[in-house]
Structure formats: C-alpha cells, structure tokens
Amino acid sequence: MIVTESMALILSALQTGESNAVNAKTLCRLCNIDDRTVRAIIEKLRRSGKVICSGNMGYYYPGTVSELERYIRRMSSRIRSGRDCLKPAKKMLKKWKESGYNG
C-alpha cells in the first residue's frame, strides 16, 4: 500500500485508548480533506492491517482488551446487518432468474 500524506497524518494523529479518540472533524482539518475522504482512508488503513477502533468520540488505537472487544462486536454487528440487508435482494434475484425476467 502506498502511504499518502493524509494517511501518514492520520496514523500519527491517532492515539491509544478511547479516552484519547480523535474525531473526524479534527482529522478533516488536520489533513485538509472532507469527512468522506477521512472515512475512506480509515477503511483503507484497516484493510491494510491497521487496527483502528471507532466510537462516539472518534478514532483511536485500542489500548485495552475491552476496547478491542467492543470494536470487534461493532464490526461484527455491521457485517451481520449488511448480510441481512442482502437477503431480500438475493431472494428477488432468484425469483427473477427462475421466471426468466431480464428487465
């Protein structure tokens, strides 16, 4: 992964522990980018193997077992929710294919 200046700034700005979380607005100002770009960078960093937790206070590196467990529960919940949202679409696709619909 090529590390951009914004990525490097975000990585250095994040602190350990939820009590030291850095909110997205602060990261936006620091990097001179919008909120959507901050979220995209955080996602890219996570996909590259960085463990970056998030909560109501912002983004942070986990500092305790309970913070890491909370992050894992939140992410697992999002995955389940996304999977649940796909079920009706998959059901509809199956019906369309079975009926020969190609609209």
pTM for this prediction: 0.81
Domain locations in the chain? 5-99
Long-range contacts of 22-27 (CB under 8 A, 24+ apart): 22/58, 22/59, 22/60, 23/57, 23/58, 23/59, 24/58, 24/59, 26/58, 27/58, 27/59
The CATH number given to 5-99 is 1.10.10.10
C-alpha to C-alpha distance for 74 and 4, rounded to whole angstroms:
28
For the residues 86-94, what does the mean pLDDT come to? 95
pLDDT tens digits for 17-64?
A: 999 999 999 999 999 999 999 999 999 999 999 999 999 999 999 999
Q: Rounded to the nearest 5°, which phi and psi values hold at 40?
A: -65, -40
